[in-house]
Amino acid sequence: MEITPDIHQVDGVNGNSYILVRDGLTVIDTGIPGSGKKILAYIREDLHRDPREIRNIIITHFHMDHIGGVAALKKAAPGAKVAVGEADAGYVTGALALPVHPGFRGLLLRIVGMVMKPGDFTPDRLLKNGDVTDGLTCIAIPGHTPGSIGLLDEATGTFFAGDILRYDGKALAEGPAQFTMDLSRQRQSLRTISGLDFDLLLTGHGVPLRPGASAAVREFVKTLPSEV
pLDDT exceeds cutoff 90 at 120:
no
**pLDDT tens track for 143-181:** 999 999 999 999 999 999 999 999 999 999 999 988 899
DSSP letter string, 3-38: EETTEEE-TT-SS--EEEESSSEEEE---STTHHHH
**Minimal CA–CA distance to 219: which of 189, 194, 193?**
194
Question: Could you give the CA distance from residue 46 to residue 63 in angstroms, rounded to a whole number?
Answer: 27
**Minimal CA–CA distance to 64: which of 188, 156, 196, 179?**
179
Domains in the chain, ordered, with CATH? 2-221 (3.60.15.10)
Q: What is the pTM of this model?
A: 0.92
Amino acid identity of 23?
Answer: D
Residue 226: the pLDDT is 77
**Minimal CA–CA distance to 34: which of 70, 76, 80, 68?**
68
Those residues with Cβ within 8 angstroms of residue 111's Cβ, 6 or more apart along the chain or in another chain:
none
Residue 11 phi/psi, 5° resolution? -70, 140
Residue 117: the pLDDT is 57
Mean pLDDT of 4-30: 96
Cα 199 to chain center, whole Å?
Answer: 18
**Minimal CA–CA distance to 139: which of 85, 220, 218, 82?**
85
Pairing outcome for strands 54-59 and 81-85? parallel
